[in-house]
C-alpha cells in the first residue's frame, strides 16, 4: 500500500528543487521608440507581439529578469532592406554599462528568423534590447533563460 506521508514529502521535495521558471518569452510590443519623436514610426502588433518600423528609427525594450548570470537570448527578427541591426546591453542597478554585445544585422528575409546573443548580467542588473531599424524591419519575440 502506498504511504501518503512519503508521497507528500516527495511532492514537496520536487517543488522545492524545481525552482523558478528557467525560461521566459517576451513580446517585442512591450518596447518603445528610444526617441519619443520617433514613436509614430512603429506599428505594434497585438496578434503576434511584434513591432515593425515604417522608417529609420531606434527602438528599445527591457527584459524582465529574476537573477544574475549569463543570459542566452534569442530574438525573432526580419528586415525588408539591408541596414537594420540589433544588440543587447546589460547595466548594473545604478544604470552603469556592464556589457554590450556587438550589433548584429537583421537579415533581409520574409519570415522571422532567430538571432542569438549571450551576455553577462550583474546582480540587480538589467538587459535592454537596442535596435536600429529601417522601414520594414521587425522584431518579434525575445526568448531567454532565467
Domains assigned to the chain: 21-145 (2.60.120.260)
Q: Using an 8 Å Cβ cutoff, are 45 and 52 in contact?
A: yes
Q: What pLDDT does residue 10 have?
A: 45
**Residue ranges in the chain whose pLDDT is less than 50:** 1, 6-19
Q: What pLDDT does residue 146 have?
A: 78
Q: What pLDDT does residue 11 have?
A: 45
- CA angle 70–73–76, rounded 5-degree value: 175
pTM of the model: 0.81
Q: What pLDDT does residue 18 have?
A: 44
As a whole number of angstroms, the distance between CA 90 and CA 144 comes to: 14
Grid cell locating 18 = 524545481
Amino acid at each position: 500500500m502506498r504511504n501518503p506521508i512519503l508521497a507528500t514529502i516527495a511532492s514537496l521535495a520536487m517543488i522545492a528543487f524545481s525552482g523558478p521558471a528557467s525560461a521566459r518569452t517576451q513580446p517585442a510590443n512591450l518596447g518603445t521608440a528610444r526617441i519619443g519623436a520617433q514613436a509614430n514610426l512603429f506599428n505594434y502588433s497585438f496578434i503576434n507581439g511584434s513591432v515593425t518600423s515604417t522608417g529609420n528609427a531606434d527602438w528599445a525594450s527591457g527584459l524582465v529578469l529574476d537573477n544574475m548570470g549569463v543570459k542566452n537570448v534569442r530574438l525573432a527578427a526580419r528586415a525588408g532592406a539591408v541596414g537594420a541591426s540589433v544588440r543587447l546591453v546589460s547595466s548594473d542597478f545604478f544604470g552603469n554599462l556592464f556589457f554590450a554585445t556587438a550589433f548584429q544585422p537583421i537579415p533581409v528575409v520574409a519570415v522571422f528568423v532567430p538571432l542569438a546573443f549571450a551576455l553577462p548580467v550583474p546582480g540587480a542588473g538589467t538587459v535592454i534590447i537596442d535596435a536600429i531599424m529601417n522601414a520594414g524591419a521587425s522584431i518579434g519575440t525575445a526568448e531567454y533563460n532565467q
